[in-house]
């Protein structure tokens, strides 16, 4: 029987799509404070998985980065100090943060998806953009950020101009509408059903994604796919423990007892 020190058996917390800005407004400031509390909860978890679009915009120049996100970055320092392993899978808004996250927090990044043994399961992590036509962009960001030419162009811009451009491209991230949510769930279920059963298919039991800003879990062929609700209308996160995955709201649901 695996002991508590076995990384595969430990609890994992998942969060995505907080879409924090370099200069938060009042509503975001409140969400930010709740996120710092979620980070404290993560001190007692084995893993904290940041599944993309934590930051609405991130860019590193060769010798400096845009100023901001200090509260979040320092909270993540404390998570790491507490002994929790941090994982970062970049989203379409913050893929450029991946090298920084690896350097500061020792995150292991194997983009575009990453496999993690946690909570007694083999978990596949991916942000979700470009996956089974779940290509809700809620903005025009993806094409620019994913392209090599986009990086080269961004480096040549003055930082303030790049910041202004990012604000314009990003627009206002929002939750999925009821109609969008229905289509997203249908496509995800069809995609999961099309995967070969365990043994002959991909080597994971559970896939966790973000990006769609709508939380749900679907099951087919002995596998589960969970989408995180995001952190815009709700304060969504997931807890995986002993093979059980719960989608929770940090405002509405009591925090799980992680011992």
Residue at shortest CB range from Mn ion: 211
Q: How far is the CB of 160 from Mn ion (least distance, A)?
A: 25
37 contacts 71 by C-beta, under 8 angstroms? no
- Binding segment for Mn ion (CB under 5 A), chosen from 87-95, 106-114, 154-162, 237-245, is 87-95
Does 92 interact with Mn ion (rule: CB under 5 A)? yes
- Binding segment for Mn ion (CB under 5 A), chosen from 24-32, 60-68, 78-86, 204-212, is 204-212
Q: How far is the CB of 213 from Mn ion (least distance, A)?
A: 8
Label residues 155-180 b or e (16+ Cβ within 10 Å = b).
eeeeeeebbeebeebbeebebbeeeb
Q: Please report how the helices 98-105 and 70-81 are oriented relative to each other, as an axis angle in degrees rounded to 10.
A: 40
Does 241 interact with Mn ion (rule: CB under 5 A)? no
| Binding letters toward Mn ion, positions 44-63, x by CB under 5 A | ---------x----------
| Binding letters toward Mn ion, positions 10-49, x by CB under 5 A | ----------------------------------------
Question: Among residues 47, 124, 211, 241, which is the contact residue for Mn ion, using CB under 5 A?
Answer: 211
DSSP secondary structure, 113-165, as one string: EEEEEETTEEEEEE--TTSTT----SSSHHHHHHSHHHHHHHHTS-HHHHHHH
Closest CA to 89 of 52, 54, 117, 129: 52
Q: How far is the CB of 259 from Mn ion (least distance, A)?
A: 32
Label residues 89-110 b or e (16+ Cβ within 10 Å = b).
bbbbbbbbbbebbeeebebeee
Does 90 interact with Mn ion (rule: CB under 5 A)? no
Question: Among residues 18, 50, 87, 91, which is the contact residue for Mn ion, using CB under 5 A?
Answer: 91
Q: Kindly list the residues in this chain that would bind Mn ion in the complex (CB under 5 A).
A: 53, 91-92, 211
């Amino acid at each position: 029987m695996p002991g508590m020190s076995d990384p595969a058996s430990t609890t994992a917390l998942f969060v995505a799509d907080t879409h924090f800005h370099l200069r938060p407004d009042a509503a975001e400031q409140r969400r930010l404070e709740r996120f710092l509390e979620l980070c404290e909860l993560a001190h007692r978890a084995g893993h904290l998985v940041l599944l993309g679009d934590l930051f609405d915009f991130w860019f590193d120049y060769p010798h400096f980065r845009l100023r901001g996100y200090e509260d979040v970055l320092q909270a993540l320092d404390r998570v790491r100090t507490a002994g929790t392993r941090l994982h970062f899978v970049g989203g379409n808004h913050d893929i450029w943060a991946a090298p920084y996250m690896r350097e500061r927090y020792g995150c292991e990044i194997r983009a575009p998806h990453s496999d993690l043994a946690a909570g007694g399961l083999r978990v596949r992590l991916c942000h979700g953009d470009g996956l089974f036509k779940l290509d809700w962009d809620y903005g025009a960001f993806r094409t620019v950020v994913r392209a090599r030419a986009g990086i080269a162009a961004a480096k040549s811009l003055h930082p303030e101009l790049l910041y202004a451009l990012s604000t314009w491209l990003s627009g206002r991230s929002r939750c999925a509408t009821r109609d969008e949510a229905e289509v997203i769930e249908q496509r995800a279920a069809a995609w999961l059903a099309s995967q070969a059963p365990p043994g002959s298919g991909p080597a994971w039991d559970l896939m966790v994604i973000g990006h769609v800003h709508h939380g749900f879990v679907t099951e087919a062929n002995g596998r589960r796919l969970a989408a995180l609700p995001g952190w815009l209308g709700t304060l969504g996160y997931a807890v995986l423990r002993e093979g059980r995955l719960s989608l929770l709201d940090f405002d509405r649901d009591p925090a799980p007892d992680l011992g």
